[in-house]
Structure formats: C-alpha cells, structure tokens
A and B are shown apart, each in its own frame.
Chain A
Amino acid sequence: MDRLVLLVSTGVARGLVIALFALSLVIIWRAARIVNFAQAAMAVVAVYVAFALQAATGSFVVALLGALVTGALLGAAVERGLMRRVSGRTPMPGMIVAIGLVMVLQSVLGILFGPKHRPMTPVLAETPLSVGGVPVLSRYDLFVLVVALVVVVGLGVLFNRSTLGLQLRASAVAPEVSRLLGVRVPRMVTIGWMLSSAVAALAVLLLVPTELGLNAHSADVLFVHAFTVAVLGGLDSPAGALLGGVVVGVLVSLVTGYASAGLAPLAVLALLTVVLLVRPGGIFAPKEARTA
C-alpha cells in the first residue's frame, strides 16, 4: 500500500512535468496549427545554457530565468528564420524542417559536449517526505508540482482572460479575419512560438535533475510522452494536457514500479495507439475534428 502511494505520487509529479511539456505543444498548436517536432531539442539547448549559468553563478533562479529567455529567443529565431519560409498549406514541410532542426541541434550538442550525461543536482532534496508514516513526495517533487500548477494557471489566465490571449487564439483559428480586425497575426505567431519554447525549456529543466543527467537526447522520451498526452487530451485543450499528463505519468510510474522499466515505453505506445484508433479526436476534445 505504501508502495502504491509512493508510486502514484511520484507519478503525479513526473506527470506534471510531462503535462507542462504537453502544454507547450498545445500552445504552439493553438498559435500556429503545427506540431513542433523540434520542441525537445530546442528545450535541451536552453537547458544547456541554464546549466552553464548555474555552474557560473551558482544560482538556480538565474539558471531558471536563463532557460526561459533562451527558450523564448530560440522559439522566435526558429519561427522567423525557418518556419515562416516554408509553405503553410500542408503540415508536411513544417514537420520536415522541424525534423531537420532536431538533427542539427542534437548533433551539434553532441559535437560540443560529447555523449556523456552531465549530472544536474536538484535545488531541493530528493528524499521523500512522509505523511503519517507513508513516504509520499520529495521536496523537489513538491517544487515541480507548484511550478507546474503556477504555469498552468498563468497560461490559462493569459489565454482566456487577456486581450493578448484572445488575439493569439483568434489569429490561430482565423488568420485572415483577425488581420482584417487589426490583429498583427505574424507577431502573434511569433509570440506563440516564444511562449511555447519557454514552457518546454522549463519542463526539461525540471525533468533533468530527476533523470540520468543532461545530454543531447535527454528529452526525447519526454517528447514522446508529451505527444501521447497531447493526443490523449486533444491538441486544443490545456485542461486535457494537464489531466493526460498526470495519467501518463502515473501509468509510467506504476508500470515501472510493478512490472519493469522496460515495459513502460510499450505501455505508453499501447495507450497512444488505443487512443488514436478509438478516439482520434482526443478524449477531452469532443467538438472539433482534427484536420491538420
């Protein structure tokens, strides 16, 4: 029973990181109707910058800000420099460019930093705290939980309660009409990319200390999990991403804890396949058919 509680609560903490990353996919989908396959590689670049900042200043806050800023700048650069230059009529060219970007970023990181994993120490202790004698979450997990919830709520307010959020949503859904109404659509797309990449960088920064360490491929599995989550929840639904993230996190944690770590990718693949085949519209997005 203790084991179950521990596994579920760690699963929730991991799931929130996955949800955060999935949320970045949702943001970019809402802003530009594209699934950014380079999201993980771009985020890892930002985390390398954060790593260097932490080593130089010793401050986690500086590293955190560095990751966010680098992520946002990278997002803007990729959108302005690459994505704007490819045809937007079908999603294919955008996906192919993103894949090319993954290859370039990962291999350049590999050349610069070598294949080994750089350990990153978490800001807070990782030993689990006990509630009534049952080990539950570590301080770091709690920190992740709080950060993830703050970001999710913040993004919710931004998208649903602010003028900028309204403009972002409008330019994604009806770019022509939005432009006629005075929304600067290209700028909105860039802002969407910046927001999305910054959130992805934050998610990877939170993930890395709990894993082997920092490496060019640190976020590959996270991307697959987050994509599963985004599909599970529907790419248009932030609430779905949050819930889906927790579901996938708990699933991975339980399979790893009770069966074996090797089975976890298969469980995620099975979940993805079942959802895609049974409910291709996503579980939480009943209204709109997927047409991308």
Chain B
Amino acid sequence: MNRLTTGTRAGHVRAVVLRAVLLTALALAATFALDPFRNYQLAVIAATFCATAGLTLLVGLTGQLSLGHAVLMAAGGYGYALVAAPAADAGLPPAAGLALGVVGALVASGAVGGLLGLAGARLRGPYLAGLTLALVIALPAVATQVPGLGKDQGLAVPFVPVPGPLAGVMVVEQWHAWVAIVVTAVAVTPLVVLRSGRAGLRMRAVHGDEVAARLAGVSPARVKVGAFVAGSLSAGLGGAVLAVVTQNVGPGRYSLAFSLLLVVAVVVGGLGSVGGAAAGAALVVLLPWLVDTVASGLPADLEQRLSGNLAVAVFGALLIAVTVAWPGGLAAATSGPRARLAGRLRRPRPADPPSDPPSDSRPEPRPITER
C-alpha cells in the first residue's frame, strides 16, 4: 500500500471518529432537554442500536441472517451482571464495577458470538437462521437450567448511581442515558470504521461471490467469523447497557419477539446502513410504546389484546412491504436527499474520495415476471 492511500485511509478513520465524537456530544447535550422517562427511552434506543448496528453489517454485508441476535445481547447482559455484582459486593466503586462489567459483557458475548460465527461460517442461509432461531427459543431453558443465571427472574444488576460531581446537575435516568450513549459510541464507531474499510470490502466480496472472493485471496470463513464476532461484541455492549438501565438481566426480555424486532429494525432501516440501524432501533423502541399509549384509552379487554400484538402486526407488515417494494429501506429512500445535502455542505475539493459507496445495500432485485 502506498503512502497516498494510507494517508486517505487514516484521514477517513479520523473523519469517522470526529463525526462519532460530535454526534456523541450532541446526544449528551440533548439529554438535558429530555425528561427522565424520555432519557430512559433514549438509553434503551442506544442499547438497541448497539445490537442493530452489528446485525446490519452481518445481514447486509456478509448475508448471514441471524434470528437470535437477542441471545448475544443476553450474553452481554449476563456477562455484565456476573462480573459487576461480585465487584460491587467486594466494595469496588461503581465506576470500576461498570468498567469491569463491560469487560465481562465483551468476553461473554464474544465467546458466544465466536462459537455461533464458527457455525455460521459452515452454514448458509436458512441453516444459520434456523440454528439461531433454535438458540433464542432455548434461551429460557438455558437460563433456568444453568446454575448461577438466576432462573426465570434473571440476575439483579448493581445500581450505578450518579457520580459525585454530576449529582447536582442530573437525575439517575439522565446519567444512565449518558452511560448508554458513551458505550454505544464505543460499540458502533469501530463497526463504521470496519464497514467502510478493507474489512467491509471483504465482507461484500464474500457475500457477492464466495468463489471469486476465495480466488482473490479472501478467506470466506475468516471474514464471516470476524463479522459475527464484531456484531456480537457490539450486541453484548448493548446488553450491558440494558442491564445497567433496567438493573436486571433475565430471559424474558430477550425473547424471540425481541430478536425479530432487531431484524425488523435493520431491514426497515436499510440492510448494511449504520444510520438506518439507528433509525430502526428508534422505531422498534418507540412504536410499541406509542401503540400502548394510544391503546390505553380503550376498554381493558381490547387493550390487553392490542397491547404488544398491534405493534408486532405493524412491524411484520413493514418488514414485508419494505422487502417486497422498497428493498433499500430508509437508508436508500433518504440517500438521494442526503447526498445532495452533503454535496452542498462539503467544501469543493477536487480529490475528495467518496466516503460512502452508493450501493451500500443490496442491489435492486430484478422484477420477476416468470420463473
């Protein structure tokens, strides 16, 4: 690699990191404008975004459909709880407990993701999806049968109080939102760097044509396992954030329904697009809440039936509609206006490398007229 390209590559990484720092600062500032419940929702969205960002790379770039991404979040949550609780018992300060817990989450989710990735490298399409589906359905059984995971109730997670210097400025929900935002930034930024760099190119190559990729010296197995581990680590961090925010980790939250919502988020957001994953995460957290809020005025019986179900029906319909009619998702729908805006904002520079390849999602399918 010559110096020129190394230079632009490093410059690109710097640009991504700079953008991440700016967005993080913006999000941290925004928490001051939100009430405690909104801040709680923001933290949940951030945690979900951790998982969807990894999943969108996995599905969109390497073509591995994981229906069990919630299991990886659960692994992160349990990893956090299993490390943070003894740390709190040992009398460590909350910040140290938090840091150790995050390491625990990374180790647990990385281990589970590595194993799944090894399986995924050998399997294709429906087989990987079926294996991950079986995994997420078996999760309650794992939580009940494996000692130390606290059975159905799950594990309690030590409370992370607002640190002294900030105690006068913010309530605990806002502090948790801060933790969530910072952890999410740490989880997602490497994924953005991976996606736009050489690793992302390899993932696309493997997805596009495995044989050709192999001929070009790319090892499909290594790329697939790597993508799976990267996505798992990020999902594990999301699980750790959820554990901190809800002070509990249990099998109930990480159900098949939640796993499918993650898939909805990445498909609706646009497969392969990290920005789309963020929008999708916000959608799958906020829409069920909105539906419940609207339904709370209805009679009790009807409300009980609609709660949960109506949002899932809408999500299912969205999933079908987007896949059939609008395969790029939100990312493709907004890419035209975004590109025009970016072109207007950007200083005119002759040798500006395109930061985003335009085909960041799946190619348009041919219209099928007959088989």
Residues of B within 8 A of A110 (CB): 305, 308-309, 312
Q: B111 interface residue, CB < 8 Å from A?
A: no
A contact residues around B256 at 8 Å (CB): 220
- The answer to whether B267 touches A96 (Cβ under 8 A) is yes
- In the complex, chain B residues whose CB is within 8 Å of the CB of A218: none
Interface presence of A120 (CB below 8 A): no
A221 interfacial contact with B, CB 8 Å = yes
Complex interface bits, A167-208 against B, C-beta within 8 A gives 1, otherwise 0: 000010001000100000110010000000000000000000
Q: From the candidates B131, B133, B304, B309, name the one contacting A276 in the complex (CB within 8 A).
A: B131
Please determine whether B138 and A273 come into contact, CB atoms closer than 8 angstroms: no
Q: By the criterion CB–CB under 8 Å, are B324 and A97 in contact?
A: yes
Q: Interface readout for A231-243 with B: 1 if CB under 8 Å, 0 if not?
A: 1000000000000
* Residues on the A chain within 8 Å of B310, using CB: 107, 111
B319: which A residues are within 8 A, CB to CB? 96-97, 99-100, 103
Interface segment, A51-59, A82-90, A136-144?
A: A82-90
Q: Are B137 and A224 in contact (CB under 8 A)?
A: yes
Q: Closest CB of chain B to A171's CB: distance in Å?
A: 8
Known A224-B133, A272-B134: A114·B141 in contact at CB below 8 Å: no
A291 within 8 A of B: yes
Smallest CB–CB gap between B226 and chain A, Å?
19
- Known interface pairs A110-B309, A186-B370, A268-B138; A95-B316 also in contact (CB < 8 Å): no
Interface stretch (choices A6-14, A61-69, A258-266): A258-266
B124 pairs with A87, CB closer than 8 A? no
| CB-CB contacts below 8 Å: A37-58 with B | 37
Is A74 an interface position by the 8 A CB rule?
Answer: no
Q: Identify which of A87, A175, A266 contacts B138 (C-beta below 8 A).
A: A266
CB of A75, distance to nearest CB on chain B (Å): 16
Q: Which residues of B contact A112 (CB under 8 A)?
A: 305
- The answer to whether B133 and A227 touch across the interface, beta carbons within 8 angstroms, is yes
Let me know if A91 is at the binding interface, CB within 8 A.
Answer: yes
Tell whether, in the assembled complex, residue B313 and residue A92 are in contact, meaning their CB atoms are under 8 Å apart: no
Instruction: Decide: A262 near B324, CB < 8 A? Known: A35-B126, A110-B309.
Output: no
Could you give 29 example pairs across A and B, Cβ below 8 Å?
Answer: A35-B125, A84-B371, A85-B324, A86-B323, A88-B371, A92-B63, A93-B365, A95-B125, A97-B324, A99-B67, A99-B260, A100-B320, A102-B316, A103-B315, A103-B316, A104-B313, A107-B312, A110-B309, A110-B312, A179-B371, A186-B370, A186-B371, A228-B130, A263-B141, A266-B141, A272-B131, A276-B119, A280-B123, A291-B124
With A86-B368, A87-B327 known, 16 other A-B pairs at CB within 8 A are: A34-B126, A35-B125, A37-B133, A82-B320, A95-B126, A95-B129, A102-B316, A107-B308, A107-B313, A115-B305, A224-B137, A262-B144, A264-B141, A265-B138, A268-B138, A280-B127
Footprint of A on B, CB under 8 Å?
A: 59, 63, 65, 67, 118-119, 122-127, 129-131, 133-135, 137-138, 141-142, 144-145, 256, 260, 263-264, 267, 304-306, 308-313, 315-320, 323-324, 327, 362, 365-366, 368, 370-371
